[in-house]
Amino acid sequence: MTDRPSLAVILAAGKGTRMKSAREKVLHEVAGTAMLAHVIANAQAAGFARKAVVLAPGMKQARALVEAEAGDIEVFTQSEQLGTADAVLAARSAIENFDGDVIVLYADTPLLRAETLVKLKDALAGGADVVVLGFEAADPSGYGRLIETAQGALVAIREDKDASTSERAINLCNSGVMAFKGAHLLGLLEKIGSDNAKGEFYLTDAVGLAHEQGLQPVAVRCEEAETLGVNSRAELARAEAIMQERLRSAAMAGGATLVAPETVYLSCDTRIGRDVLIEPHVVIGTGVDLAEGATVRAFSHLEGARVGEGAVVGPYARLRPGAEIGAGARIGNFVEVKNATFEEGAKANHLSYIGDAHVGVRANIGAGTITCNYDGFDKHRTEIGEGAFIGSNSALVAPVTIGKGAYVGSGSTITKNVADDALAVTRATQEVREGWAAKVRKRRNRDT
């Protein structure tokens, strides 16, 4: 990969009316990450250190996302939507006098791989002046065709409606992504006219202009799936399916076992260690780290959580943000954990809610236990010491501390701290009335 200075201009001003959404189109998520964030990350990974994002007026949400991103990013506004060349010119101050490589990307095309973008940089380094990313389409209808000479020189991009019969037979199609030697870009953009049906300025015209000027345009190919642009909910679902297949394949290639991979949903930032086992129908949101040898059993949902080596989660478990599950710990069926740490070997095997808590090494949480962490105004923490035993159907009213090795009797509501090795029981004294049930049944039968 060349070390030449490089700039990615990311066009994100599309209205996305077919999405029928109050959310700006480029913020819709694929594998848990906004499409715009995917494109920014891929540009960064491909070595485009400088980035310019072109938005439409009023795109406050997208602007906030960009401003929260790390790195060298500028934001520009395309005041009117007058075509792709006009959108690139909105970033004029970034591209004028820039002598490096410039790539034009689209914020609604989240599936392009960084290694594909590197190929465009390499083509520029190899002598090309303009590089167009193309793909061999299974059905080229509707796409612009890349017109090449017999020697492989790219001479034009012909829109489908303008193509001849022989040109329509070409299945090498335009993805829209283009890269330029910066020294030529501004001059080409300023020569692009709007003599077309829509009266817009099309970036694709740069190829023909470059050819006429004796510059060298070339085409670089990629897989068709990478070029998918998202303009509707159906296309968003297609992009999600493609991304999930990539993530699953990468997880299995890295040494994880997915029993039924087509039923597992991952996020683009999911970290999965070797020998992790993921059973069917698991959903993993953003911010999840599964350490080596961890098991996630069926029908579990995880987000913002870390699972330690050899720990077991599920089935039917829910880990919410801030859940820290230590090595060898067990989180069982219908257990929910939020902003809580389970130390090594700690267990909550059944039907419990543990929130805003710390559970010590080898402590045991009985079925039906809850930490009462919210008083209607504020959250409070529960501390459960090493080796403590919490009996079934207990309520721990925070803030409260259960000491090391302490016992809480089943059915107790604990509102005060429990010392190390102590027993806390708050059950009422059991009363047994012999024959009471028989007498009640007899009386009720007589009454009826």
The percent of residues above 90 in pLDDT, for the chain, comes to 89
- pLDDT grade for 36, boundaries at 50, 70 and 90: very high
Helix (H, G, I), strand (E, B) or coil at 309: coil
Q: How far is it, in rounded angstroms, from Cα 256 to Cα 234?
A: 30
Note the pLDDT of residue 430.
85
pLDDT at 170 exceeding the cut of 50: yes
Q: How does the average pLDDT of the chain come out, rounded?
A: 95
pLDDT at 272 exceeding the cut of 90: yes
Q: What is the third-level CATH fold of 6-227?
A: Spore Coat Polysaccharide Biosynthesis Protein SpsA; Chain A (3.90.550)
Could you give the angle at the alpha carbon of 354 between the alpha carbons of 334 and 284, nearest 5°?
A: 55
Average pLDDT (92-116) is: 96
Q: Is 371 exposed, middle or buried (0-12, 13-18, 19+ CB in 10 A)?
A: buried
Closest CA to 21 of 64, 61, 80, 76: 61
Share in percent of the chain as helix, strand, coil (round to 5): 25, 30, 45
Phi/psi of residue 440, nearest 5 degrees: -65, -45
Q: How far is it, in rounded angstroms, from Cα 93 to Cα 330?
A: 56
Helix (H, G, I), strand (E, B) or coil at 386: coil
Does the structural domain 233-424 have CATH classification 2.40.50.180?
A: no
Catalytic annotation present for 38: no
Per-residue pLDDT reduced to its tens digit, 354-381: 999 999 999 999 999 999 999 999 999 9
Q: Between the CA of residue 239 and those of 31, 179, 191, 211, what are the distances in Å?
A: 9, 24, 35, 34
Look at 37-41, 153-157, 278-282, 396-400 and tell me which has the smallest mean pLDDT.
153-157
Q: How far is it, in rounded angstroms, from Cα 394 to Cα 371?
A: 9
Pinpoint the alpha helices (H) of 90-177: 92-95, 114-125, 165-168
Per-residue pLDDT reduced to its tens digit, 76-89: 999 998 999 999 99
Bridging pattern class, strands 364-365 and 413-414: unpaired
- Domain residues of the chain, as ranges? 6-227, 233-424
Per-residue pLDDT reduced to its tens digit, 105-142: 999 999 999 999 999 999 999 999 999 999 999 999 98
Q: How far is it, in rounded angstroms, from Cα 230 to Cα 111?
A: 10
Model pTM greater than 0.85? yes
What is the C-alpha radius of gyration for the chain, rounded to an integer number of angstroms?
30
Note the pLDDT of residue 270.
98
Note the pLDDT of residue 331.
98
Q: Which of 28, 184, 211, 350 is catalytic?
A: 350
Query: Pick the residue with more confidence: 370 or 163?
Result: 370
Are 203 and 85 contacting, i.e. CB atoms less than 8 angstroms apart? yes
Closest CA to 122 of 8, 3, 28, 37: 3
Look at 7-21, 159-173, 321-335 and tell me which has the smallest mean pLDDT.
159-173
Q: How far is it, in rounded angstroms, from Cα 229 to Cα 26?
A: 11
Average pLDDT (391-402) is: 98
> What torsion, rounded to 10 degrees, do the Cα atoms 194, 199, 203, 206 define?
-20
Query: Pick the residue with more confidence: 215 or 448?
Result: 215
pLDDT at 2 exceeding the cut of 70: no
DSSP bridge partners of 277: 257, 295
Average pLDDT (303-316) is: 98
- pLDDT grade for 447, boundaries at 50, 70 and 90: low
Note the pLDDT of residue 448.
47
Same fold flag, 6-227 and 233-424: no
> What torsion, rounded to 10 degrees, do the Cα atoms 326, 330, 331, 337 define?
-20
Closest CA to 72 of 55, 94, 92: 94
Task: Give the rounded distance of the alpha carbon of 62 from its chain centre.
Answer: 16
The percent of residues above 70 in pLDDT, for the chain, comes to 99
Note the pLDDT of residue 291.
98
Are 394 and 419 contacting, i.e. CB atoms less than 8 angstroms apart? no
Note the pLDDT of residue 79.
92
Note the pLDDT of residue 446.
63
In sequence order, the 6+-apart residues with CB closer than 8 A to the CB of 11 are: 54, 84, 87, 88, 104, 105, 106, 107
**Residue 60 DSSP one-character state:** H
pLDDT at 101 exceeding the cut of 70: yes
Could you give the angle at the alpha carbon of 369 between the alpha carbons of 366 and 375, nearest 5°?
A: 160
Query: Pick the residue with more confidence: 1 or 159?
Result: 159
Closest CA to 371 of 410, 398, 343: 398
- pLDDT grade for 280, boundaries at 50, 70 and 90: very high
Are 27 and 50 contacting, i.e. CB atoms less than 8 angstroms apart? no
- pLDDT grade for 199, boundaries at 50, 70 and 90: confident
DSSP bridge partners of 218: 131
Query: Pick the residue with more confidence: 149 or 242?
Result: 242
Residue with tokens 């939507």: 81
Are 261 and 248 contacting, i.e. CB atoms less than 8 angstroms apart? yes
In sequence order, the 6+-apart residues with CB closer than 8 A to the CB of 405 are: 385, 386, 387, 388, 420, 421
Per-residue pLDDT reduced to its tens digit, 213-224: 999 999 999 999
